[in-house]
Chain A
Amino acid sequence: MPRVLLDVHGITYSYGSVPALAGITFQVQPGEMIAVIGPNGSGKSTLLKCLDRALRPQRGVVLLDGRDLWDYSRRDVARRIAVVPQETVTEFDFTVAEVVLMGRQPHLSGLIRRESPRDLAVAREAMELTSTLHLAERPVSSLSGGERQRVIIARALAQEPEILLLDEPTSHLDITYQVEILDLLVYLNRIKNISIITVIHDLNLAAQYFRRVILLSGGKIVDVGPPEKVITTPKIRQAYNTEVLLTRHPGNGRLFVTPLPRKSVEMMSGGFRPTVHLVGGGGSGAGLMEAMFVRGWKVTAGVLNRGDRDWEQGRLLGIEMVEIPPFVPIGDEAHQQNLTLMKKADCAVLASVPFGQGNLRNLYALEEALAGGLPVFLLDESPIEERDYTGGIATEVYRRMIGKGACLVPSEVSALEAIQKRFPPNRALSR
């Protein structure tokens, strides 16, 4: 079993009668990189302060190597845990070298407490790691935001900590510096095996750089785990009360979060939000799914194989889907569920998906729903014949549906327009 470095056990903290943390429990192993996310006032900074003995939890304990943090002296804690605070006071003109050397404070001893050659060497290494050596003689007050942040990180490294706590290290920085600081943290984590816990506002950076994320809301942990598990539409909605669009980063496949402006969601949905059931697969419906979601429409989907790109997109968006295991044909149960979802929907859309024996029942389900009076839109980006691998059965059903009134749309944009036209925003008024 891996060693537990920091054991946070049921900590509760209130500022007067205002609760900030309520029963937080999690563990940190050596060399872990953890991002703490959550809306303003969710207790992120308070949590960080409880982890470095700045605040004493009213209930619960923080154990460092199995021993209560408050059984250590301030100095002993400072030798093992370093903090990069959110605000740094730099009114007085200390030079970078002087500020970094201050990080040696917890290691100095004796009456005079003079820095030894080793103290200088450690400070020097900290400056090399953070690329601040060339700034050594500059007054800290003359540095740019990004440089200053690196100097503060150098000071923290000079403490030779096992754990580095950072409170929004990138919040005041432009994107270049943000990336620079996070790259640096990853580098320090790998090179020095320092455990890093950082409060961060940017969900994209959290998803991109951290393998473990703690989502806080109202002083409680909503979820802990890898970003794919924690940063999901329903959990973000629960924590932030905000709609987000989750996609995959095109380059590295990591999560990509786009907050949806409340106003545009309302405007685009125009008051009435139709429920659209999407039939797709293999990525054919992902773009449409996202576009409809952004408009604020309620989207359902089925039947999709798990692991499929459309399924992945649906999961990210947190929509209701009928799902089956990979490479398995649609069974009776899934077919029935699909029909149920269609019945609840205002209309259905068929993406330009290829058909084989495995997913042919999706087409039958649509035909049945169409017969039951459900408006069906067929996205016809490529001719059905070219995507028919059923020996003509799919083409036949497809044609039949057109004959029975299914609406053919040539592109995603025209599909969206057609649905919008069919369900005008002011429809809510006439209801």
Chain B
Amino acid sequence: MIKPQIRAEASSGGRGVPFVALEQKRWRVRLLILLLVLLLLVTAAVAVRVGAVSVPVADLLRILGVVPGSPSTLDPVKKAIILELRLPRVVLAALVGASLAMAGAAFQALFRNPMADPYVIGVSSGASLGATVAMLLAVDFRFLGVGSVPVLAFAAALGTVFLVYQLAKTGSVVSIFTLLLAGIAVGSFLSAIVSLLVYFSGERLHQVVFWLMGGFGGANWLYVRTALPYFVLGTGMIAFYARELNLLLLGEETAGYLGVEVERAKKLLLTGASLLTATAVSTSGVIGFVGLIVPHAVRMVAGPDHRFLIPASALAGATLMVAADALARTVLAPTELPVGLITALAGGPFFLYVLRNRRKMKFFS
């Protein structure tokens, strides 16, 4: 049997080896990830150093234990500022930035919608309601050492996701489209209640509004320790299903034809992304933009493969958040700006730049 003649085959540029270019691309992306790791470390180091109390680089390295040196020669106050205030704050900012970026990437792929962000199914509205209620009713309790605001915010965030999920479910099938609409409806409803509460919040108005704008003001190691398990769990779920995210981009039906247990994958990815978002929002309030633009910017440079997109987004998101927080507390020091303001102010123009110049950045894709 003669192979059928295919139009245009003759005019092709020779018989290229199909996967050499793909391998090269993957190495370039691995290199990009390495660069992002370095960038994050440098940014974190700078962020730890800057502030009202400035620490020389040599001392900083000694405090962090990077360079051996006698701790006794160092100022114990400076040491405490670095280790107990700035370092946990930077680490928390990195975790939150990474969480939002990964959740954003996962939701964008799941919903096959470039406008999707971590808050698309109402997580932020739920968390806001929980936090606002905690602040206005002055609910004061500690759960595992954590204050009432993050605990109620976390619980309300997950409760909202669960509600939206149940609303979108028919039988054992969850329609992504219904999920999106139910998320928007429930989110708007809860936001309206939050607005109502804020309207009657009286002298607590400033506290509520500041929380809603997001920030890392109260960060300490306890926050980091509490958030870490959820971060690890959520990251694991998304990372493990990165391949399925690629296939889901082709459509749920096609993913199914290629052997993906679509409903299970969707459920796990939704859980993972919601967990990350809820953790981020409950520890630092609603910080916009990072979860929307970081995955897009990374995708334009590194391509759509989620096995690279997820880690690269996490690193870029972490770096961006650490830098934004450092700016937030130094630009108008001693006044601290809401970090969400910085991410939007810096992120918007940066994103537009990437959008306009993506053709020049073909190096990676």
Which of A89, A137, A180 meets B249, CB within 8 Å?
A: A89
**CA A183 to CA B5, docked complex, whole Å:** 9
Residues of B within 8 A of A100 (CB): 18
A91-133, CB < 8 A from B: 91-103, 105-106, 108, 111, 113, 120, 123-124, 127, 129, 131, 133
Counting CB contacts under 8 A, is A159 at the interface? yes
B269 to chain A, nearest CB (A): 16
Counting CB contacts under 8 A, is B332 at the interface? no
Q: Would A124 and B18 be within 8 Å (CB), given that A180-B6, A183-B4, A187-B4 are in contact?
A: yes
Counting CB contacts under 8 A, is A30 at the interface? no
**CB <8 Å contact, A133 and B18:** yes
**CB <8 Å contact, B256 and A74:** yes
**CB <8 Å contact, B21 and A97:** yes
B2-59, CB < 8 A from A: 3-4, 6-9, 12-16, 18-19, 21-22
Residues of B within 8 A of A91 (CB): 112, 249
Residues of B within 8 A of A207 (CB): none
Residues of A within 8 A of B258 (CB): 78, 102-103, 105-106, 155, 159
**CA A135 to CA B249, docked complex, whole Å:** 21
> Quick one: CB contact mask for A419-431 with B, threshold 8 Å, 1 for yes?
0000000000000
**CA A184 to CA B6, docked complex, whole Å:** 9
**CA A106 to CA B243, docked complex, whole Å:** 12
**CB <8 Å contact, B303 and A74:** no
Residues of B within 8 A of A98 (CB): 22, 305
Counting CB contacts under 8 A, is A248 at the interface? no
**CB <8 Å contact, B257 and A134:** no
**CA A75 to CA B256, docked complex, whole Å:** 9
Q: Which residue of B lies closest to A159 (CB)?
A: B258
Q: Which residue of A lies closest to B264 (CB)?
A: A74
Residues of A within 8 A of B256 (CB): 53-54, 74
Q: Would A74 and B261 be within 8 Å (CB), given that A88-B250, A89-B112, A92-B304 are in contact?
A: yes
**CB <8 Å contact, B259 and A106:** yes
Counting CB contacts under 8 A, is B178 at the interface? no
A341 to chain B, nearest CB (A): 48
**CA A49 to CA B261, docked complex, whole Å:** 16
**CA A76 to CA B260, docked complex, whole Å:** 10
**CB <8 Å contact, B18 and A136:** yes
**CA A134 to CA B11, docked complex, whole Å:** 10
**CB <8 Å contact, B246 and A85:** no
Q: Would A136 and B21 be within 8 Å (CB), given that A88-B254, A191-B1 are in contact?
A: yes
**CB <8 Å contact, A89 and B250:** yes
Counting CB contacts under 8 A, is A176 at the interface? yes
Counting CB contacts under 8 A, is A44 at the interface? no
B291 to chain A, nearest CB (A): 18
Which of A54, A105, A150, A184 meets B259, CB within 8 Å?
A: A105
**CB <8 Å contact, A133 and B16:** yes
Residues of A within 8 A of B299 (CB): 92
Per the CB 8 Å criterion, the residue count for chain A at the interface is: 59
Residues of B within 8 A of A101 (CB): 19, 22
Q: Would A137 and B254 be within 8 Å (CB), given that A75-B259, A92-B249, A93-B365 are in contact?
A: no
**CA A100 to CA B251, docked complex, whole Å:** 15
**CA A73 to CA B299, docked complex, whole Å:** 33
**CA A135 to CA B257, docked complex, whole Å:** 23
**CB <8 Å contact, A113 and B16:** no
**CB <8 Å contact, B247 and A136:** no
Counting CB contacts under 8 A, is B84 at the interface? no
B14 to chain A, nearest CB (A): 7
**CA A108 to CA B242, docked complex, whole Å:** 14
**CA A228 to CA B12, docked complex, whole Å:** 40
**CA A133 to CA B16, docked complex, whole Å:** 7
> Quick one: CB contact mask for A130-172 with B, threshold 8 Å, 1 for yes?
0101111100000000110010000100010000000000000
Residues of B within 8 A of A180 (CB): 4, 6-7
**CA A95 to CA B365, docked complex, whole Å:** 10
**CB <8 Å contact, B19 and A136:** yes
Residues of A within 8 A of B14 (CB): 134
Which of B18, B112, B251, B257 meets A97, CB within 8 Å?
A: B18
**CA A411 to CA B12, docked complex, whole Å:** 54
Residues of B within 8 A of A74 (CB): 256, 259-262
**CB <8 Å contact, B246 and A79:** no
**CA A83 to CA B254, docked complex, whole Å:** 8
**CA A88 to CA B8, docked complex, whole Å:** 22
**CB <8 Å contact, B250 and A134:** no
**CA A74 to CA B258, docked complex, whole Å:** 8
> Quick one: CB contact mask for A233-261 with B, threshold 8 Å, 1 for yes?
00000000000000000000000000000
Residues of A within 8 A of B8 (CB): 147
**CA A150 to CA B112, docked complex, whole Å:** 24
**CB <8 Å contact, A124 and B19:** yes
Residues of B within 8 A of A191 (CB): 1
**CB <8 Å contact, A85 and B16:** no
Q: Which residue of A lies closest to B261 (CB)?
A: A74
Q: Which residue of A lies closest to B299 (CB)?
A: A92
Which of A78, A120, A177, A190 meets B1, CB within 8 Å?
A: A190
**CB <8 Å contact, B12 and A134:** yes
**CA A247 to CA B19, docked complex, whole Å:** 49
Residues of B within 8 A of A53 (CB): 256
> Quick one: CB contact mask for B245-276 with A, threshold 8 Å, 1 for yes?
01101110110111111100000000000000
**CB <8 Å contact, A79 and B257:** no
**CA A146 to CA B6, docked complex, whole Å:** 10
**CB <8 Å contact, A131 and B305:** no
**CB <8 Å contact, B257 and A131:** no
**CA A180 to CA B21, docked complex, whole Å:** 28
Which of B7, B15, B21, B247 meets A137, CB within 8 Å?
A: B21
**CA A137 to CA B249, docked complex, whole Å:** 19
**CB <8 Å contact, A150 and B260:** no
| 12 chain-A/chain-B pairs, Cβ below 8 angstroms | A78-B259, A83-B257, A85-B257, A88-B250, A97-B18, A98-B305, A123-B19, A124-B18, A131-B3, A133-B16, A134-B9, A134-B16
**A-B pairs with the 9 shortest C-beta distances?**
A78-B259, A134-B12, A106-B259, A183-B4, A136-B18, A75-B259, A131-B6, A83-B257, A92-B304
Interface residue ranges, A against B (CB under 8 Å):
52-54, 73-79, 82-83, 85, 87-89, 91-103, 105-106, 108, 111, 113, 120, 123-124, 127, 129, 131, 133-137, 146-147, 150, 155, 159, 176-177, 180, 183-184, 186-187, 190-191
Interface residue ranges, B against A (CB under 8 Å):
1, 3-4, 6-9, 12-16, 18-19, 21-22, 112, 240, 243, 246-247, 249-251, 253-254, 256-262, 299, 303-305, 365
